[in-house]
Structure 1
Amino acid sequence: MKYLMEKKNHCMHSFERLVRKMSMQIKDPREQDIFCSLLTRKDGMQELVEKYGLSAKELASMYERSVEEIMDDWDAMAQERQELQAIRVRYRNCRSLLSKRNIDRTPVRVVVPFKERGIPVEYLKMLSTPLAVLEITPRILRRLREYNIYLLEDLLRFVKKNGFNALAKLHGIGMKSCEDLYSVLKRKGIMESKDNCHLFQYIWV
């Protein structure tokens, strides 16, 4: 019982912190206080009506306006986050293309052949997925990190460039670990075969 009460108090504390962070999107201090108080039940409607000299209808209207303001800002932030993810993937693609091996040097110009394409939002999220959340064993994760492979995008870029079985040649991985890793990626629907992945088209090497 004591453990459940501690968990409940911890969850309430976390919820209150979340509400306070959300309320920072509200410009009007009164509306900010009303939003926090009603959601966390710090004050009831009657207390807030008396505190600010408002009618119940005015209070409800201010609360509704606050919620809409937060939702609008939330949507804008989500859109900006997606655009930032796309920029990061594009940057890593360009960095891969600009490696010495991929540049054709001539006395006159530098040619970097590539074809850029937009990346759907759901694929952006997949490419940005940390490998640690894909049920890959900690030992394999540690070995991959030695080669700066942290995200699904990093792993797929290596595979697209070198072939899947090349992972077995990395220090400390071996063929069995390579097969275990492939099983995870296939089970998650990330790779159709060792040579085929629907995300390859968004990765430049």
Structure 2
Amino acid sequence: MPDHAADRGRAEIRSAGRSVPFHKGDRLITAGTHSDEVLLVEAGLLKALLPGPGVEPLVSLLGPGDLMGEIGVINGRPRSAHVIALGPGRAVHLAGSTFLRLRAQSEDVRALVDQTSLKRQHDADERQLAHMRDVPQRVAAVLLKWVTEQGHRTEAGLRLNGLSQHDLADAVAASEKSVETALGGLRAKGLLRTARMSFTLTDPRALARLLEV
């Protein structure tokens, strides 16, 4: 069910900010830097990585309508994650001081912030539960979530472009070899088609039922 208040909040941010294009590989946010602006994705796909030694886990995908950077601005704390573009797109950049003013004045902007916070908490809960699953289940669950949220409808099914097998391995904390085995299992069941930087779920509902077993 659409959240019209949050949509109006997005419109306010678009009106007050400036739209800037980005390209594949661009780093829109760097962990540890000063939180001086908020970004709203207009087009394209980005990944959020937690900084750390060795592998930096991929914790979320961000697409059109997603807000980022607001927590650091609200709390006056440095950035907590890297955000990197998986392909070309655009994002609205809004100065932190302007965002704080809008948040104080507008119930709709506050609704957007609340919606974003709830989504992040839900995602964190799902990551916690994922540790109880084996690699094939984690791969299936992450694909179902991300393709459903960020994919687009095609004749073959629901497709997500821009995500690599390496990204998927980072997201489920597994080796690329074990991820490839899991993907092969989904292909054998007729639930998944893959191409370079592309995943297509042929029957998302069937995959959801499989995860419930």
- Give me the TM-score of the superposition, normalised by structure 1: 0.25
Higher relative contact order (CA 8 A, sep 6+): 2
Q: Going by fraction, where is strand more abundant, 1 or 2?
A: 2
Q: Going by fraction, where is helix more abundant, 1 or 2?
A: 1
Return the index of the structure with the highest Cα Rg: 1
- Give me the TM-score of the superposition, normalised by structure 2: 0.25
